[in-house]
Amino acid sequence: MPNRDDALQLLDEWVENEGLKNHMLAVEAAVRHYARLRDADEETWGLAGLLHDLDWEKHPDVHPTKAVEALRERDYPDEVIQAILAHRASYTGVEPTAELDKVLIACDELSGLVVACCLVRPNGVDDLKPKSVRKKLKDKAFAAGVSRDEVAWGIELIGLDQNEHIQNVIDGLRAEGEALGIRGEDLGR
């Protein structure tokens, strides 16, 4: 099975945009956190989080089909491929059925919003609370590219309270805060 180093190499080959790379790393961190919480295979779940938007930059019109083709050629697990297809269910027709599918959807857009919250706070992720994220979630002008409908759908899919899910994503990102550049000291504040 391909490992994280293989996935990072693939990421570097396919994605030039640093913001997109950072998003994919953030989603990986959140999904890995959920794997630990749910006693799931952290490596497999992490691969799905890391590679979910692999072809977004080069092939946005057919995302994620080009990535899925490449992952199949490289023998990535079916569980990873299923989750990547399911996170774009409206395009692929693949419904989220597995726990990983649902967690990936729940973490994708919300991770972007949490990172955006960190970037405008003096202490970044260090002391971020769900209340601050909820406030920004209501402000549609803030991180306008984040689909509030997708955030709500993800929370519904995993069946958690909004605060609990937001806290889980914060905790996942906080664990990788330095690598993601979202700690207060990383932001130069």
Domains defined along the chain, listed by start: 4-180 (1.10.3210)
pTM: 0.96
Are 116 and 177 spatial neighbours (Cβ–Cβ below 8 Å)? no
d(CA 149, CA 68): 25
H helices of the chain, in order, are 4-14, 18-37, 42-51, 65-73, 78-86, 89-92, 99-119, 130-138, 148-158, 162-175, 177-180
Q: Report residue 39 as tokens.
A: 């006693």
pLDDT tens-digit map of 87-135: 886 777 879 999 999 999 999 999 999 999 999 999 999 999 999 999 9
Residue (of 54, 152, 34, 161) closest to 104 by Cα position: 34
Residue 188 has pLDDT above 70, yes or no: no
